[in-house]
C-alpha cells in the first residue's frame, strides 16, 4: 500500500554545496501543491566543507515538529549517507549519486575517528566493505530501496543538449538534480517543481532557466528508468488544491515581520548566529523614504547595539536589538541602565548552545535564568518565550506593547530551533494584537493631565519618574518643549537628579518593581500560560520551542497507547505567573518537566515560585532540537514505569 502525502525527507551535503537551496525548493514545491511541511535546518559553524542537512516532514495536516525516522534520504555526498543511514526506516528510500559509491569511510575526514570506527565495525560485522557501497548494501539488506542517479553523466548530457560544454563542470547543480530525482520517484507534478525553482531563483532568470532545465531532464530520466518500470515505490506525493491565505515562513522572518507590524522604527544588531538572519531580512526589506520605515544599523559590537536601541527608545521610537547568548552577555550593563531609567526597549534573544562560543549554530534553551537575572542589582524586566513560528510573530508585536505600557526592557526569547524552522501556516492576522504605546504623551500639559492618583503634589513641572499608584509615569520624547529631566545610571529622584537618600531609594525601588505586579494583573491569562488539552492527572510542563514536539508526542500517546496527558506551556517567564500555573496544575499527580537544557531551568522557577518539584525531568543538551518521536518514547516510558530514575536525557540527532 502506498503512503500518500506523509513523508520524512532528508538531504545533506558539505556546507556551501547548496543543501539549503535544494531543501527550500522542495519545501516551496510542497507548499505550492497544497501540502503542509515542517523543515529543520542543521548546519555546521564553518563556512564550507563540514556536514549540513535539512529535514522536512510533509503532511496533509499541519506539522509541528520533526521526526527521527527518515522515509527518503537524498544523498549527493558519502558523508550524508554515513551519518544518516541509521535513521532510514526499513522500507525507506535512498536516492544517491552513483559517484559516491566507492568512497571509503576513512576518506571522509569530516567524520571524527570515533564515528568512522563505529561505521567500519558495523559494516565489517555484516561482512561488507567499508565504503558507501557497503553502507548502501546494508540498507538494502534491511529493506530499503535504492535508486542510483548518474548525476555527472546527466550533467554532461545537459551541457551537450544546451551546447554549453562548460556546464558539464557545474557540479553545484547536482543538488537540484537529486531533488528532482526524489520528486520524480514520488510522482510529484514536475510543473510545480519548475515553478518552485523559478521562485527561489526569481532574481536571476538565467540561473533559474538553467536549473529548471537540469531538474526536468533529471526528473524525466528518473521517471523513465524507475517509475515507469518499477511501480513498487512505497511513497507518493500528490498535489492538492492550492491553499489560500497560507504562508511558507521561517522563524526569523516571522519575528522580523512582527516587528514591522508593531511599528519598530529602529533595529540594531552585531552579526551573530542565529540572530543575524532576522536583521538581514529587515535590511533586505528596508524602506527609508516613507511613513513606517525601519532603520537597521549594524553596530561595532553588542554594547553599542543595545545602547543605540535604548537611545532610540528615549527619543520615542519603538526600538529593538537582536542577539544571541554571547552578545546578550555584553548587553547586561546597558540592560540595567534601561531598567534604572525605565526605558522601553526590546531585546530579541536567540538562544544557542553555550557557554562561551559553545555550539554557535546549534540549539539549546540554556539562557532562561540568565535572561531573568542579567545585570547587577534588581530591576524589572519582562521575559516572554515563543513556542513556535506563529507565536514568534505575535509575541514580537506584544513585546513592544509590554515595553511601552510598563516602561521597562522586554526580553523576547526565541532560539535556533524556531529561527531556522520553516513551516506552512495560516497567514498572520496583525489585527489580533492592538498597538498600545502606554503613557507616551506629546507635551508637559498632557503629562500632567495623564498623572492620576499621584502620591506627590503636582507643581506644574514635568517629573519623568513621578511616583504614581501603579508605578507608571507619563513619558515624553526627548526634545519635548519644557520637558526637562535627567537620565543617569545612578539612583535618582522624580526629575532624574542623582540621590542617595534612603527614603527616596526605597520609594524609587518600590515604584519600579511594583510594575511587575501590574504586568501579572493586566496581561491576559493566555499570554501568561496556556493549557493544551483538558485537565489531567498527568501533565507535561515546558516553555519555548519544545511545544511542537510535545504536542505531537501527546497526540501519539493518545492514538497509539490510549494515554491522555495535557501540556502546560509557560509563556511569561518573568514576572512568573505563580497563581495561574498553580491553578492549572491542580489535580496533576504526575508532573513531567521537558526542557532543552542540562539543569531543567524552568523546574527551578517552579520550585522557587510555587514550591513544586516535577516528578520527572526530560532534558536534552546535545545541540539538536527535540523530535516528537523521542519525546513520545520518553513520556511513554515514564507512564508505563520503564524509566529508571527521575531524569531522562534525550540524545537523538546528527
The answer on pLDDT for 230 being more than 70 is no
pLDDT for residue 459: 53
- Are both 50 and 110 inside the same structural domain? yes
Domain count, the chain: 4
The answer on pLDDT for 232 being more than 70 is no
CB 565 within 8 A of CB 533: yes
The answer on pLDDT for 119 being more than 60 is yes
What is the distance, to the nearest Å, from the Cα of residue 492 to the centroid of all Cα atoms in its chain?
A: 40
Tell me, what CATH number does 261's domain have?
Answer: 3.40.50.970
Mean pLDDT of 413-438: 96
Q: Is residue 119 part of a domain?
A: yes
- Are both 229 and 256 inside the same structural domain? no
Helices and strands, number each (H, E), in the chain: 23, 25
364 Cβ partners below 8 Å, 6+ apart?
Answer: 351, 352, 353, 354, 358, 415, 416, 596, 597, 621, 623
- Are both 644 and 538 inside the same structural domain? yes
CB 345 within 8 A of CB 409: yes
Interatomic CA distance for residues 92 and 158, integer angstroms? 30
Tell me, what CATH number does 19's domain have?
Answer: 3.40.920.10
Q: Is residue 560 part of a domain?
A: yes
- Are both 360 and 477 inside the same structural domain? no
Lowest-confidence region among 164-168, 407-411, 637-641: 164-168
Interatomic CA distance for residues 441 and 419, integer angstroms? 35
- Are both 541 and 582 inside the same structural domain? yes
The x, y and z cell numbers of residue 512, run together, are 519600579
- Are both 215 and 75 inside the same structural domain? yes
pLDDT for residue 167: 67
The answer on pLDDT for 450 being more than 70 is no
Q: Is residue 315 part of a domain?
A: yes
Q: Is residue 507 part of a domain?
A: yes
Which uninterrupted H or E stretch holds 401? helix 389-406
- Are both 134 and 50 inside the same structural domain? yes
- Are both 30 and 126 inside the same structural domain? yes
- Are both 295 and 322 inside the same structural domain? yes
The answer on pLDDT for 453 being more than 60 is no
The x, y and z cell numbers of residue 294, run together, are 525601519
Last-in-domain residue among 499, 522, 545: 522
Task: Give the number of residues written for the chain.
Answer: 654
Task: Give the confidence band of 517 by pLDDT, cuts at 50, 70, 90.
Answer: very high
The answer on pLDDT for 94 being more than 70 is yes
* Each residue's pLDDT tens digit, 296-349: 999 999 999 999 999 999 999 999 999 999 999 999 999 999 999 999 999 999
Name the residue with higher pLDDT: 171 or 406: 406
Phi, then psi, of 72 in degrees rounded to 5: -135, 120
- Are both 576 and 639 inside the same structural domain? yes
Last-in-domain residue among 202, 236, 270: 236
Q: Is residue 573 part of a domain?
A: yes
CB 57 within 8 A of CB 616: no
Tell me how crowded residue 321 is: count the other CB atoms within 10 A of its CB: 31
Q: What percent of the chain has pLDDT over 90?
A: 88
pLDDT for residue 285: 84
Q: For residue 184, what are the domain limits? A: 3-236
Task: Give the confidence band of 412 by pLDDT, cuts at 50, 70, 90.
Answer: very high
Mean model confidence pLDDT for the chain: 94
Q: Is residue 572 part of a domain?
A: yes
* Each residue's pLDDT tens digit, 16-71: 888 999 999 999 999 999 999 999 999 999 888 899 999 999 999 999 999 999 99
Q: Is residue 626 part of a domain?
A: yes
- Are both 207 and 271 inside the same structural domain? no
Lowest-confidence region among 39-53, 527-541, 603-617, 629-643: 39-53
- Are both 420 and 346 inside the same structural domain? yes
Q: How many CA atoms lie within 13 A of 125 on its CB side?
A: 6
Q: Is residue 241 part of a domain?
A: no
- Residues 195-229 as b or e (16 or more Cβ within 10 Å = b): bbbbbbbeeeeeebebbbbbbbbbbebbbebbbee
Lowest-confidence region among 48-52, 489-493, 580-584: 48-52
Name the residue with higher pLDDT: 81 or 227: 81
Phi, then psi, of 130 in degrees rounded to 5: -85, 60
Mean pLDDT of 430-445: 93
Q: What percent of the chain has pLDDT over 70?
A: 97
Mean pLDDT of 576-589: 97
Task: Give the confidence band of 163 by pLDDT, cuts at 50, 70, 90.
Answer: confident
Interatomic CA distance for residues 320 and 335, integer angstroms? 12
Last-in-domain residue among 184, 213, 236: 236
Mean pLDDT of 156-163: 85
Interatomic CA distance for residues 568 and 592, integer angstroms? 10
Amino acid at each position: 500500500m502506498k503512503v500518500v502525502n506523509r513523508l520524512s525527507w532528508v538531504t545533506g551535503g558539505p556546507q556551501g554545496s547548496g543543501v539549503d537551496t535544494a531543501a527550500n525548493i522542495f519545501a516551496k514545491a510542497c507548499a505550492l501543491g497544497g501540502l503542509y511541511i515542517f523543515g529543520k535546518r542543521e548546519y555546521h559553524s564553518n563556512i564550507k566543507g563540514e556536514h549540513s542537512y535539512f529535514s522536512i516532514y510533509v503532511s496533509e495536516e499541519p506539522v509541528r515538529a520533526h521526526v527521527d525516522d527518515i522515509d527518503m534520504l537524498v544523498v549527493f555526498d558519502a558523508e550524508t549517507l554515513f551519518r544518516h543511514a541509521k535513521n532510514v526506516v526499513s522500507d525507506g528510500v535512498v536516492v544517491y549519486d552513483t559517484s559516491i559509491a566507492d568512497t571509503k569511510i576513512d576518506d571522509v575526514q569530516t567524520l571524527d575517528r570515533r564515528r568512522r570506527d563505529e561505521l567500519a565495525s558495523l559494516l565489517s560485522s555484516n561482512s561488507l566493505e567499508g565504503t558507501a557501497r557497503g553502507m548502501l548494501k546494508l540498507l538494502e539488506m534491511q529493506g530499503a530501496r535504492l535508486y542510483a542517479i548518474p548525476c555527472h553523466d546527466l550533467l554532461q548530457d545537459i551541457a551537450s543538449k544546451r551546447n554549453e560544454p562548460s556546464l558539464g563542470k557545474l557540479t553545484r547543480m547536482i543538488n537540484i538534480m537529486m531533488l528532482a530525482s526524489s520528486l520524480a520517484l514520488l510522482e510529484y507534478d514536475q510543473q510545480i517543481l519548475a515553478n518552485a525553482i523559478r521562485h527561489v531563483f526569481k532574481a536571476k532568470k538565467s540561473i533559474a532557466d538553467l536549473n529548471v532545465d537540469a531538474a526536468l531532464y533529471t526528473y524525466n530520466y528518473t521517471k523513465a528508468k524507475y517509475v515507469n518500470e518499477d511501480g513498487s515505490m512505497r511513497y507518493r506525493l500528490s498535489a492538492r488544491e492550492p491553499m489560500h491565505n497560507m504562508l511558507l515562513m521561517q522563524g526569523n522572518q516571522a519575528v522580523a515581520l512582527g516587528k514591522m507590524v508593531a511599528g519598530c522604527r529602529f533595529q540594531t544588531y552585531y552579526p551573530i548566529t542565529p540572530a543575524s538572519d532576522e536583521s538581514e531580512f529587515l535590511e533586505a526589506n528596508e524602506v527609508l523614504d516613507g511613513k513606517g520605515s525601519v532603520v537597521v544599523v549594524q553596530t561595532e559590537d553588542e554594547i553599542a547595539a543595545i545602547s543605540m536601541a535604548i537611545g532610540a527608545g528615549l527619543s520615542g521610537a519603538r526600538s529593538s536589538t537582536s542577539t544571541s547568548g554571547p552578545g546578550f552577555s555584553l548587553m547586561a550593563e546597558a540592560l540595567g541602565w534601561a531598567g534604572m531609567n525605565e526605558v522601553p526597549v526590546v531585546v530579541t534573544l536567540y538562544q544557542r548552545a553555550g557557554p562561551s562560543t559553545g555550539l554557535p549554530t546549534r540549539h539549546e534553551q540554556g539562557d532562561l535564568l540568565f535572561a531573568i537575572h542579567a545585570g547587577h542589582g534588581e530591576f524589572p524586566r519582562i521575559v516572554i518565550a515563543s513556542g513556535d513560528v506563529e507565536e514568534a510573530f505575535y509575541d514580537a508585536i506584544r513585546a513592544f506593547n509590554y515595553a511601552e505600557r510598563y516602561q521597562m526592557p522586554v526580553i523576547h526569547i526565541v532560539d535556533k530551533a524556531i529561527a531556522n524552522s520553516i513551516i506552512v501556516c495560516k497567514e498572520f492576522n496583525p489585527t489580533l494584537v492592538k498597538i498600545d504605546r502606554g503613557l507616551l504623551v506629546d507635551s508637559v500639559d498632557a503629562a500632567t493631565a495623564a498623572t492620576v492618583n499621584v502620591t506627590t503634589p503636582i507643581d506644574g513641572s514635568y517629573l519623568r519618574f513621578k511616583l504614581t499608584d501603579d508605578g507608571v509615569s507619563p513619558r515624553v520624547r526627548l526634545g519635548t518643549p519644557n520637558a526637562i529631566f535627567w537620565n543617569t545610571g545612578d539612583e535618582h529622584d522624580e526629575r532624574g537628579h542623582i540621590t542617595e537618600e534612603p527614603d527616596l531609594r526605597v520609594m524609587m525601588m518600590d515604584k519600579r518593581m511594583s510594575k511587575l505586579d501590574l504586568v501579572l494583573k493586566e496581561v491576559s491569562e493566555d499570554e501568561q500560560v496556556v493549557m493544551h488539552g483538558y485537565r489531567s492527572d498527568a501533565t507535561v510542563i515546558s516553555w519555548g520551542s519544545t511545544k511542537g514536539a510535545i504536542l505531537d508526542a501527546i497526540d501519539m500517546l493518545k492514538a497509539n497507547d490510549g494515554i491522555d496527558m495535557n501540556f502546560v506551556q509557560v509563556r511569561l517567564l518573568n514576572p512568573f505567573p505563580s497563581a495561574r500555573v498553580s491553578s492549572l496544575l491542580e489535580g496533576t499527580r504526575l508532573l513531567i518537566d521537558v526542557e532543552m537544557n542540562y539543569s531543567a531551568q524552568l523546574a527551578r522557577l517552579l520550585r522557587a515560585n510555587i514550591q513544586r518539584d516535577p516528578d520527572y525531568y526530560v532534558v536534552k543538551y546535545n545541540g539538536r532540537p527535540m523530535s516528537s518521536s523521542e519525546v513520545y518514547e520518553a513520556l511513554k516510558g515514564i507512564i508505563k514505569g520503564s524509566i529508571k530514575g527521575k531524569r531522562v536525557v534525550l540524545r537523538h540527532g546528527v
